[in-house]
Amino acid sequence: MTDTGGDEDATLVKRALDGDDAAFAQLMGRHKQWAYRFVRRYVGNADDAYDVLQDTFFSAWLALSRYQPARPFDVWLRRIALNKCRDRARRESVRRVFARLTGEESEGLELSDPAAGPESSVATEQEIEQLERSIAVLPRSLKEPLLLTALEGLSHQQAAELLGLNAKAVEMRIYRARERLSALRASRQRH
């Protein structure tokens, strides 16, 4: 979990709600890096990640009055980012179905070779991109716990609270995600 200074975040939220646009810009600047990393890992594409990140920040601006200062701002913002990623995945799913029905080509459905594991260090930019694309095609139920724990640093309990699950379910889904990534890797190495 990122330590972004909850008191400072709450102060910036209050100032933004009072009409200080610079306070909101500063607030987003404080959280932009981790939010982009999270979204990029979820969607697997830099251009799409920027679009989702913009949607996330726009939604945060619109919903800022509903933020509860007693809760960490980064958890609240992460929830919005997660929902935007899910929205994008649903839209893409509809586009793929439509493309199949109309006979059009679907883009971006190729699986790539994941590196040794999602949290291991990788040597090249190409390997990082392959890993991100592989994680992006995991089912949502496996991808979200993996991203939140292994790559974003949340505990199983924190991820469980964010996803509305229990910690044991998060642990099992992470295990299954790793199995799926390993199977994809082994399959790609055979071909």
Q: Which residue has the higher pLDDT, 6 or 25?
A: 25
Q: pLDDT over 90 for what percent of the chain? A: 41
| CATH code of the region 1-109 | 1.10.1740.10
In the structure, what pLDDT confidence band is assigned to residue 105 with cuts at 50, 70 and 90? very low
pLDDT one-digit tens code per residue, 152-179: 778 888 889 899 999 999 989 988 888 8
Predicted confidence (pLDDT) at residue 103 exceeds the cutoff of 70: no
Predicted confidence (pLDDT) at residue 28 exceeds the cutoff of 50: yes
| pLDDT of amino acid 23 | 93
Q: Are 43 and 49 in contact (CB under 8 A)?
A: yes
Tokens 């999270």 identify what position?
38
Q: Which residue has the higher pLDDT, 141 or 152?
A: 141
Task: Name the average pLDDT for the chain.
Answer: 79
Predicted confidence (pLDDT) at residue 74 exceeds the cutoff of 70: yes
Residue 67: strand, helix, or coil: coil
Query: What are the residue ranges spanned by the domains of the chain?
Result: 1-109, 110-191
In the structure, what pLDDT confidence band is assigned to residue 116 with cuts at 50, 70 and 90? very low
Predicted confidence (pLDDT) at residue 148 exceeds the cutoff of 60: yes
Residue 100: strand, helix, or coil: helix
In the structure, what pLDDT confidence band is assigned to residue 111 with cuts at 50, 70 and 90? very low
pLDDT one-digit tens code per residue, 75-97: 999 999 999 998 888 777 766 65
In this prediction the pTM is: 0.60
Q: How far, in Å, are 38, 105, 111 from residue 137 at the CA level? A: 15, 18, 7
- One-letter amino acid at 14 equals K
Q: Yes or no: is domain 110-191 CATH 1.10.10.10?
A: yes
Going by C-alpha positions, the residue among 142, 171, 129 that lies closest to residue 41 is 129
| pLDDT of amino acid 153 | 76
Q: Which two tokens stand for residue 12?
A: 């910036």
Burial class (CB in 10 A: 0-12, 13-18, 19+), 68: exposed
Q: Are 150 and 119 in contact (CB under 8 A)?
A: yes
- CA distance linking residue 90 with residue 101, whole number of Å: 17
- CA distance linking residue 14 with residue 30, whole number of Å: 15
- CA distance linking residue 182 with residue 57, whole number of Å: 34
